[in-house]
Chain A
Amino acid sequence: MTSTRREFLRDTLVGGGSALAAGLLPAIASGRDNLPRIPTARGLLYDSTLCIGCKACMAACKQANDLPPEHTLAEPYWDTPLDLSGKTKTVIKMYRDGTAAVKDREVDGFAFIKASCMHCVDPSCVSVCPVSAMRKDPGSGIVTNNPDVCIGCRYCVAACPFKVPRFEYDTPFPRIKKCELCEHRMAKGHYAACAAVCPTGATLYGQVEDLLREAKRRLSLSPGEETRFPRGELGGADHDVRAHTARYVPQIYGESEMGGTQMIFLAGVPFAKLGYRPLPTRSYASVSETLQHSLYEGMVMPIAALAGLSFLAYRSRVNHTLLDEEDQPEPAGEQP
C-alpha cells in the first residue's frame, strides 16, 4: 500500500462526505411553520362537564357510519367498544378516582371524555400519507380517508398524535377507519350525528371560530352560574339547555396543542387524567416537513449530489475501462 492511512481516511471521508453532509443540514435549515387555521373550518366542542355518559353519540355514530357492533362482554347483546377500532369511530370513556363520588372532580370523582378524530389544523396523518389518501378539505378542514387510493401502509395509524386512525386486521380487504366528521351527511344538509343526538349539548357542532368563542365564554363564567348551553349545532335551530356552570380546568384543549385542532375540549378534570396529554404547540407535521424540505427542496441537493457522484464515478471508471479493454497493466497511479 502506498496510500498512507491518513490519505486513505481522508479519501473515505471526502467520498462519503457529500452523503453525510446531506444528513447534517437539517440542523441549520429553517422551516415551515404550523399550517394556519382555516376560517371556515367546522368542528366539535366537547364539554366534559355537560356529558352524562349516555353514549347516545356512540350509537348514532355507528348508525350514521354503518358500523357493526363490537362485543367485549361475555354476552354479545350490546355494542360495548372499549376504544376506537376498525368498527368504532367514537367512544365515550370514563375517568374515575377513589370513591368516584362527585362528577368532574379529580380526587374521589369521575368524568367523561370523548375520543374521535381531532381534525387537526396541521394533521400528521395528512403529512405522512404517501398517496394523499388522507386529505384535509381546504374549506371545512375535515380530514378524510380515500379508500380508492389508500395503500393501507398504516403510517397514519402509527403517526397520529391522538391515535385516531384504526385499521381492520381481520379481513383480506381492510380499510382505515376514522371519524370524518360525518362529511357524507353534510351533502344532505345534516351535521355530525354525534352532536345531533347529544341531549345536553356536551358534543356541539359548529364553525370552529364560533366554538372557540363559546368555549372562552364558558371559561369566563363563575362556577355555579346559570347559563344557556347551545345544543346540536351552534347557531342552529336546536333549543338551548339551561344549566349551571361547572368548575372548569382553565384550558381549551385543542386551542393550540399540535398547532390546534378542530375538535376542542373543555373539562373539569386535568386533561392529562382524561387521556389527553400535554403536547407542544408546534405540530409534528411541520417539524417533519421542515426536515424533509430542507433536504429535498426543489431537488437541488439530490441533483447536485448526483452530478458530483457521476463525476467521481466517471473519473474512477475511465482509469479502469482502459485496464479492462486494452489489456494494460494497472495504471501507475493505482499501483500500490
Chain B
Amino acid sequence: MTPFSSPRVLRPSGEHSPVGGRLLTPVTAVLGLLGLVSLFILAVRLVYGLGAVTNINDGYTWGTWIVLDVMVGTAFACGGYAMTVLVYINNNWEYHPLVRPALLTSVFGYTLGGVAIFVDVGRYWNGWAVFHPAYAQPNSVMWEVALCITLYVGVMWLEFTPAILEKAGKIIWLRRTRKIMFILLAFAVLLPSMHQSGLGMVLVAFGDHIHPLWQTNYLPLLFLLTAIAMGFAVVVFESYLTSHGFRRPMETPLLANMSQVMVTLLVIFLCVRLGDVAARHQFHRALELNLQAFCFWCEVILFLAPLLMLMKPANRNRPRLLFYAALCLLQGGALYRLDAYLIGYEQVPGWHYFPSVPEILATLGLVSLEVLGFIVLSKVLPVLPAPHGVAHVNGR
C-alpha cells in the first residue's frame, strides 16, 4: 500500500502491489555498472563510427545489435502483447495479475530495441524521414516495422499509466483512462501483430541470401507465432524469477493454466515450420553436415522439449518444470530468429562475422539497464501481483 492511494481505488486493482525495499542493492549496483559500460561503448560508436566498436562489415551488415537486441530482444518483450491478447481480448480476466509485470518488461524490452536501432542506424540524424509523408516508403517492410514499433512503445507506456495513476492516487484520471483503454488495447495487439510478423517479412526480400531452411513466405507467420509463444514463456520465466528474487509466492495455478496456450502454440508452430520445409522440398538441407543443419535441429529440439514437458497436465503444476519449459521455448525462439538472420544468412565466400567484445558488452549492458528498470519500478509501483491478490484469485 502506498500512502497516497485510498483503499477504494486500491481495492479493485489490489491484485498488484509495490515490492518496496531498498533500491540500492548489490544486484542493482552491478546492473547499473554494466549499464554504464554499455553507454560508454555507445558513446564511442557515436564519435568514431560503427566500425570502432563492432565487427559488422558489408557482408554481414546487420550484427548482433540488430539481430539480438531488436529481432530477439523484442520477442522477449512480447509478454505484454501475449497477456493483452489473453486477458483483454480473449476475456480471460483471471490472468489480470500477470499483465502488469509482463507489460513492464515489454516496455523496457522495446525501449532497448529502440535504443539499439538508433545507435546501429548509420545516419540517425535523418530518422525524421521515416515519418515524413514525402519520404515514407510503405513498400518497405522496414518502414512498416519502424512505424509500428515507435507507435507501440508509446501505446505501452500509455497502457502502463494506470499503475502510475494508481500510485499517485489520481482516481478521476484512473477512471477516465479506463473508459478509453479498450482502443489502446486494440492497438496494443494490432501493432505487435504487425511488426512481429514484419520482422519475419523483412527477410523475404533477401531472397537466396537466406538459407532455404529459413527462407519462406511463411516467415511472417512463423515470426508471429514465435512472438506470441515467447511472450507467454517470458511471463512464466519472469514469474519464476521474481517470486524467487523478491521472495513472493509464485502464481503457479495461473501459470499452469496458461501453459496450455503455450502447448497449443508450440504444436501450431512446429506444424507450420516443419510442414513448410517439407512442402518446399528442402528437408534434405537439414540432413547435411553443416552449421545451418545443426542449428535447425537445435531449434526443433528446443521447441519439442517444452512441448513434451508440458504435454502432461500434471507437469504444469511443477514450477521448476514450467520454468525449464519456458526457458527451452525462449531459447528455441531466440535461436530461430538468430538463425534466420545470421546463421542462415548465406554469403559470397570471404565474409565472416562474429561480434566483438564491446559489441556484446553493449548488448549485455542494455539488457542490464532493462532488468534494473524492472527491479526499480516494481519496487516503487504497484506492478507485481500482490500476495493477497493471488490468494484471492486462487482461492476460488
Contact = CB atoms under 8 A, between A and B. Distances in A.
B135 A15 contact: no
A273 to B, nearest CB: 13
A302 B186 CA distance: 11
Interface in A150-185: 150-155, 157-159, 161, 163, 166-175
A325 interface: yes
Interface string A255-284: 000000000000000000001010110001
A279 B208 CA distance: 8
Contact of B228 (A16, A22, A170): A16
A323 B12 contact: yes
B324 to A, nearest CB: 22
B217 A22 contact: no
Given A15-B86, A152-B123, A312-B91, A23 B205 contact: no
A67 interface: no
Interface in B64-113: 85-94
Nearest to B51: A169
* Best-buried of A173, A291, A313, A317 by chain B (most CB within 10 Å): A313
A167 B122 contact: yes
Contact of A1 (B122, B220, B257): B257
Given A26-B217, A130-B146, A163-B348, A13 B264 contact: yes
B374 interface: no
Nearest to B137: A132
A85 B58 CA distance: 8
B126 A151 contact: yes
Interface residues of B, number: 87
Nearest to B220: A23
A153 B142 contact: yes
Interface string B136-147: 111111111010
A27 B275 CA distance: 14
Contacts of A325: 12, 175
B266 to A, nearest CB: 13
Contacts of B218: 23, 26-27
Contacts of B179: 321
B85 A19 contact: yes
A100 interface: no
A212 interface: no
Interface in A296-336: 296, 302, 305-306, 309-310, 312-317, 319-321, 323-325, 327, 334-336
B185 to A, nearest CB: 4
Contact of A172 (B46, B178, B197): B46
A96 to B, nearest CB: 16
Interface residue SS majority, chain A: helix
Interface stretch (A3-11, A101-109, A222-230): A3-11
Interface in A107-136: 124, 127-133
Contacts of A302: 190, 194
A24 interface: yes
Given A127-B205, A288-B205, A306 B139 contact: no
Nearest to A169: B51
Contacts of A22: 193, 197, 224
A289 B186 contact: no
Contacts of B137: 129-132
A128 B348 contact: no
Contact of A291 (B129, B181, B204): B204
B206 A159 contact: yes
A6 to B, nearest CB: 10
B321 interface: no
Contacts of B50: 169, 174
A153 B221 CA distance: 24
Contacts of B354: none
Interface in B175-189: 175, 178-179, 181-183, 185-187, 189
B264 A306 contact: no
A147 interface: yes
A274 to B, nearest CB: 12
A258 to B, nearest CB: 8
Contacts of B193: 19, 22, 305
Which among A13, A84, A127, A167 has the highest number of chain B CB atoms within 10 Å? A167
Given A15-B86, A132-B135, A316-B88, A309 B206 contact: no
Interface string B187-224: 10110011001000110111111000000011011001
B205 A153 contact: no
B90 A15 contact: yes
Given A19-B224, A20-B224, A12 B206 contact: no
B93 A316 contact: yes
Contacts of B134: 132
A295 interface: yes
A57 interface: no
Given A129-B142, A295-B220, A310-B185, 4 more contacts: A23-B220, A130-B143, A132-B129, A150-B126
The 10 closest A-B pairs by CB, nearest first: A152-B122, A169-B51, A23-B221, A15-B90, A152-B123, A284-B207, A288-B205, A130-B143, A309-B186, A313-B182
Interface of A: 1, 5, 8-9, 11-16, 19-20, 22-24, 26-27, 83-85, 124, 127-133, 147-155, 157-159, 161, 163, 166-175, 275, 277, 279-280, 284-285, 287-289, 291-293, 295-296, 302, 305-306, 309-310, 312-317, 319-321, 323-325, 327, 334-336
